[in-house]
A and B are shown apart, each in its own frame.
Chain A
Amino acid sequence: AQSVAQPEDQVNVAEGNPLTVKCTYSVSGNPYLFWYVQYPNRGLQFLLKYITGDNLVKGSYGFEAEFNKSQTSFHLKKPSALVSDSALYFCAAGMDTGRRALTFGSGTRLQVQP
């Protein structure tokens, strides 16, 4: 069975500061990892993914994530936060390149203060 943990319910950061949203995973076999963002009354939007290759993956809106196999982590990062980044962020893990069921974490609310 696979599982995803997001240890922080909420992350607060000042605009312009770097942000990190944490995610750890447990999967059998090769992990396929994703980050999604959810704005109020809207569906999940894909941000980025790790399938194979470079441990640092870059995605939409200036976000990036670092895959660390030894720590089984896939933390989401951004060098300079914007107020508009305030939203709910979900980490997810999948098998079969992610084309089977995704297992999601419980989500982290990011609050960027002006």
Chain B
Amino acid sequence: DTGVSQNPRHKITKRGQNVTFRCDPISEHNRLYWYRQTLGQGPEFLTYFQNEAQLEKSRLLSDRFSAERPKGSFSTLEIQRTEQGDSAMYLCASTSNTGTNEQFFGPGTRLTVL
């Protein structure tokens, strides 16, 4: 399968713990995006990268959130000191700078903070 992959698919953690999610974009895509989706809502933008550079961050991305894309390939999203309000589906998407411009989404990581 050459689509966007995300791991893990589900994560259950206790409040105060740190969690890290991984996203592997489609191989030739140089733009990578993170979104968060809560129940009954549409996805909300968190941040995006062009290659390894983080170009834009939403105000939703508090100090407890950090994202990296060290070699311009896969990306990680870390949440420190998780809170119950962090419970959501975290979606990753990718696209290329040329050609077709729609974003291709992965299956998401569902985070539950107890």
Please report A residues at the B interface, Cβ cutoff 8 Å: 4, 32, 34, 36, 41-46, 49, 51, 90, 92, 97-107
Knowing A44-B91, A99-B95, A100-B56 are in contact, say whether A106-B41 is a contact too (CB < 8 A). yes
Known: A106-B40, A106-B42. A43 touches B48 (CB 8 A): no
Interface of chain B residues 1 through 49 with chain A (CB within 8 A): 4, 31, 33, 35, 40-45, 48
Residues of B that sit less than 8 Å from A by CB = 4, 31, 33, 35, 40-45, 48, 56, 58, 91, 93, 95, 97, 101-108
Contacts of A42 in B (CB 8 A): 107
Contact at A43–B45, with CB atoms within 8 Å? no
Contact between A101 and B102, CB atoms less than 8 A apart: no
A101 to B50, CA, bound (A): 12
Across the interface, do A98 and B102 meet the contact criterion of CB distance under 8 Å? Answer: yes
A36: which B residues are within 8 A, CB to CB?
Answer: 105
On whether the beta carbons of B108 and A43 are closer than 8 Å, the reply is yes
Check B43–A44 contact: CB distance below 8 A: yes
> Which residues of B have CB within 8 Å of A90?
42-43
* Complex Cα–Cα for A102 and B41 (A): 14
Q: Which residues of chain B are within 8 angstroms of A43 by Cβ–Cβ distance?
A: 4, 91, 105-108
Measured between beta carbons, the chain A residues less than 8 angstroms from B95 are: 98-99
Residues from chain A with a CB closer than 8 A to the CB of B31 are 99
